[in-house]
Chains A and B, each alone.
Chain A
Amino acid sequence: MSETDEASAAEEVASQTVRFQFHGDGREFFRIWIVNLVLTLLTLGIYSAWAKVRTKRYFYGNTELAGDRFDYLASPIAILKGRIIAVAFLGIYTLVSYFAATFSFVLFISLMLVMPFVVMRAIRFNAVMSSWRGVRFGFSGELLSAYKTILLWPLFGIVTFGFGMPYAWHKQNQYLYNNYAYGQTGAGTSATASDFYTVFFMVMFASIAGGVVFFVLALLPGESIALLILVGVGYLAFYVLIYVVFQSTYFCAVYNNVHIKGNRLQTDVTIRGLFAVVFPNTIFTILTLGLYYPWAAVRLARYMQAHLWIEAVNLDDFVAAERAKESALGDEIGEAFDLGIGI
């Protein structure tokens, strides 16, 4: 016992901060985005799979950790296959729900039943197709646990009128990160249910506080245009705030607790900082009817990456060891997952 304590104390001393950094540029991404959009339209959606790979490669390739960039390796054909199946299902479901409403219930139940399988495969696909320093990530979550975490726990959240939902998030987070891997080494999470209850109560508090502010605003006399605009912008700010409170606290709950072989992820994303990015993003995106989106996406990624780092103990050795094991498996992994489900 004392030995491990000593060891962890030694690691504590030796740990160094390795920051994530995002190098993407709004103008550059706008060009990629608009070309993706036009080719997708002209090919009636077929190109969307290639567009997805290009977008992901752009974002991964611009994410730097310890001097090296991430890589996204999925083949567009795999994604296209997954997408065709999903769209066929959506088409059938939409039509059935209009033309034979009773039968659509059966379809909905069967959708719910395949959902955990689909989500599990999608997580695995995304993990295996992501790499850093030539080593792929991995996901070893099992189907039975997928049914529990994706179907049963959220159901528990619903029957407890939402009060059980943070516990469901906790279970989902455990399913995700206790099964995640870099190369052959599994990651883990030390997040507890109370971390997710913090998220829940923060969102609740923000909603109630916002509600009170609007109640007071509604009591203000006068009907000037300026006041109306103020109230409109206020409403928007309120919605963005709730979203931001949720996103930032959830992000912290998750990323302050992930570790892999003694290397710990850390974040200092704040509600204020995220709001200062997301609120202008929302305003500009609305004002430009969506054309600002590429800049918004880049700004958001830049903020998130700038506030994410690793408290690293032996990153280089660990990574080099994984790299050596990886070469034996090589590209076969990629071929085993010929069906990409993009989530």
Chain B
Amino acid sequence: MQFQGIYFDGVTSLGKPAQLTADTHFIRLSWSDNERVVELNAIQVEAALGSLSRKVLWGADDYFVSDDQAQLDALAKLSGSGGMPYWLARLESNFGGVALAAVITLASLVFFALYGIPRMTAAIAHQLPWAVSAQMAQSTLTNLSPLLQQSELTEVRKQQLRSYFSEHERADAPAVDVHFRQAGAFVGANALTLSGTTVVFTDAIVELLQDDQQLLAVFLHELGHARMRHVEQTVLQSAGWAVFLTFITGDIGGVGELVLTLPFAVGQSAYSREFERQADAFAVAELRRLGIDPEVFAQALERLELSRNSVADSAASATEQDEDINKVHRKLLEYLASHPITADRIAAVRGVPSP
């Protein structure tokens, strides 16, 4: 075997054009009127990286460089050079390997987004001390204070609701704190779970749902979120994903992050819909246990949906929205919505078979 390259003596930086000849035991380098002989089993041929030229080294200061990839590969085989870099180079140069890498990348991203990270964070969230959840709710309340003003409900009414809720609360964990707040129009009639320890009702929802049993049903839905530590899970998920991404994206480059964040965004919204379903199921089960017809929950959802639509109507002419939503649009909406479409939730509540 014989091929051309450049010989560097390790002292001066300028290389000399040289020729490498290999037989079964030795390689011989010859340039101008000089030559150097090295034992074949002492040499190490650098693995390929793209089509960059590669060094032939033998543990001394001098070395030989060539870009004759085919000959270098043959020499590597002859001298027994190998290891991980060779394995990588083979993977990179093989079309099947590259295609497989692309497919596995996509599949593992989807897997991490939909199973890996949610599973891990769920396990951690359930172990989180209640004090941490309380602290978390406190800082959320402080952050939201510009949006949530002091409630205008009477102390009597608040107290009455609090004790009514706590009478019906499962005692398998510390009782949740119920706060009442006056909120802006875009929050509207709503109840929010801040963490495993804290739930907020807006004045608007208390006024909208005059039947206390309906309010209890909403409370039980929020209690489901709280007991299952859904908020903690969501927080841990985005934190976990951010950390995971930082680890990876150092080398992917700015816009490449797009590929990596997309599955998470989709997975996240699918997951939060799953949280809503779980909380609905929890509410229905609790209502049953308490001997209350789950129909009150369905009615509460209907009323909330109605009030939300009327807000939307006044904001824009969105009436035709509901009628125009054909199957495709509906699927898309369902896919992207973080809350399941209420009609489906109501149907699900009503459709839960009685035990």
A interface residue numbers (CB < 8 A to B): 24-25, 28-38, 40-42, 44-45, 48, 51-52, 54-55, 57-58, 61-62, 69, 83, 86-87, 90-91, 94-95, 98-102, 133-135, 282, 285-286, 289-291, 293, 296-297, 316, 319-320, 323-324, 327, 342
The listed residue (A38, A42, A87, A102) touching B247 by CB distance below 8 A is A87
Provided the pairs A41-B248, A91-B243, A99-B135 are in contact, do residues A286 and B255 lie with their beta carbons within 8 angstroms? yes
Chain B residue numbers with a CB within 8 Å of A291 are: 259
Judge whether A48 and B92 touch: CB under 8 Å.
no
Q: What is the bound-complex CA distance between A296 and B243, given in angstroms?
A: 26
B163 at the interface (CB under 8 A from A): no
Q: How many pairs, one residue from A and one from B, have CB atoms within 8 Å of each other in the complex?
A: 143
Which residue of A has the minimal Cβ distance to B85? Answer: A54
Q: What is the bound-complex CA distance between A285 and B255, given in angstroms?
A: 7
Judge whether A135 and B251 touch: CB under 8 Å.
no
Provided the pairs A41-B248, A45-B247, A296-B255 are in contact, do residues A58 and B101 lie with their beta carbons within 8 angstroms? no
B100 to chain A: closest CB distance in Å? 8
Chain A residue numbers with a CB within 8 Å of B61 are: 327
Provided the pairs A282-B255, A290-B255 are in contact, do residues A100 and B139 lie with their beta carbons within 8 angstroms? yes
User: Which are the 3 A-B pairs with shortest beta-carbon distances?
Assistant: A45-B247, A290-B259, A101-B139
B88 at the interface (CB under 8 A from A): yes
A239 to chain B: closest CB distance in Å? 12
Judge whether B255 and A48 touch: CB under 8 Å.
no
Provided the pairs A45-B247, A101-B143 are in contact, do residues A135 and B132 lie with their beta carbons within 8 angstroms? no
Which residue of A has the minimal Cβ distance to B132? Answer: A99
Judge whether A83 and B98 touch: CB under 8 Å.
no
Judge whether B243 and A87 touch: CB under 8 Å.
yes
Provided the pairs A35-B98, A37-B101, A94-B242 are in contact, do residues A69 and B251 lie with their beta carbons within 8 angstroms? no
B246 at the interface (CB under 8 A from A): yes
Contact with A along B1-23 (1 / 0, CB 8 A): 00000001011111000000000
Contact with A along B79-99 (1 / 0, CB 8 A): 000000000100111000110
4 other contacts beyond A48-B251, A289-B262, A320-B12, with CB at 8 A cut-off? A33-B252, A41-B108, A98-B136, A323-B12
B interface residue numbers (CB < 8 A to A): 8, 10-14, 49-53, 61, 88, 91-93, 97-98, 100-102, 104-105, 108-109, 112, 132, 135-136, 139, 142-143, 235-236, 239, 242-244, 246-248, 250-253, 255-260, 262
The listed residue (A31, A62, A69, A290) touching B257 by CB distance below 8 A is A290
Which residue of B has the minimal Cβ distance to A95? Answer: B239
Q: What is the bound-complex CA distance between A51 and B92, given in angstroms?
A: 13
A147 to chain B: closest CB distance in Å? 25
Judge whether B259 and A38 touch: CB under 8 Å.
no
Judge whether A42 and B108 touch: CB under 8 Å.
yes
Q: What is the bound-complex CA distance between A54 and B49, given in angstroms?
A: 8
Judge whether A99 and B136 touch: CB under 8 Å.
yes
Which residue of A has the minimal Cβ distance to B259? Answer: A290
Judge whether A323 and B13 touch: CB under 8 Å.
yes
B17 to chain A: closest CB distance in Å? 12
Judge whether A52 and B13 touch: CB under 8 Å.
no
Q: What is the bound-complex CA distance between A95 and B124, given in angstroms?
A: 12
